[in-house]
Amino acid sequence: MWIFGFSISFSTLIMIFGFKNSVNGLRCYEGSRGIVNGEETTNFVENLCDDNMQFCFESYNSNLTEVTASCQTMGTDPKLIDVCNMDNKCRERTDIDVTVCCCTSDLCNLQEDLKPDSLQTSTEKPPEKSSKEHSEEDEENVFESLMTNETRVFLK
């Protein structure tokens, strides 16, 4: 194949475009919103997903007081992947008040008003700072706890 006066094989084009996509990768929001030690916390960050991951996930309750966002991982339960194959890409479980949604584009997995930039420019009064400091490890444990509990119940 001739491109811009150079002869390039089809396999070379595949390698070039394949490399470009693996370098960029899918970006999803990761984090949670919920009650931690009796206080409401919200912590979402942009994250570059692992290579070859295709989906971002968001789960939330009906009044958005508990929200989680994450990337697909190698260990993602196949039942969550099934949500991605549904027409509306969301599955609601009213019996446990959890909705899980799946999407495939960069930073698609969070309600607009929960996105980090929206939180900083919001007209709402920011939550009061706690006298206790939460470590990054505490926040990760809370996120894992929220995601694991919601997902475990959702998948039953």
Sorted by where each begins, the domain ranges of the chain are 26-124+132-155
For 97: left if phi > 0, alpha if psi spans -120 to 50, otherwise beta; the answer is left
- Residue 131 near residue 77, CB atoms below 8 Å: no
What is the rounded distance in angstroms from the CA atom of residue 95 to the CA atom of residue 48?
Answer: 33
* Residues 60-74 pLDDT 10s: 999 999 999 999 999
This prediction has a pTM of 0.65
Q: Which amino acid is at 57?
A: F
What is the rounded distance in angstroms from the CA atom of residue 71 to the CA atom of residue 76?
Answer: 9
Instruction: Dig out the tokens for 124 from the structure.
Output: 């709402």
Terminal-residue alpha carbon distance, the chain:
53
* Residues 101-152 pLDDT 10s: 999 999 999 999 999 876 554 444 444 434 444 444 544 444 454 444 444 4
Total H helices, total E strands in the chain: 4, 8
Class of the CATH domain delimited by 26-124+132-155: mainly beta
| pLDDT in the model for residue 124 | 44
| pLDDT in the model for residue 46 | 96
What is the rounded distance in angstroms from the CA atom of residue 6 to the CA atom of residue 67?
Answer: 51
Q: Span 87-113, mean pLDDT?
A: 95
Banded pLDDT at 50 (limits 50, 70, 90)? very high
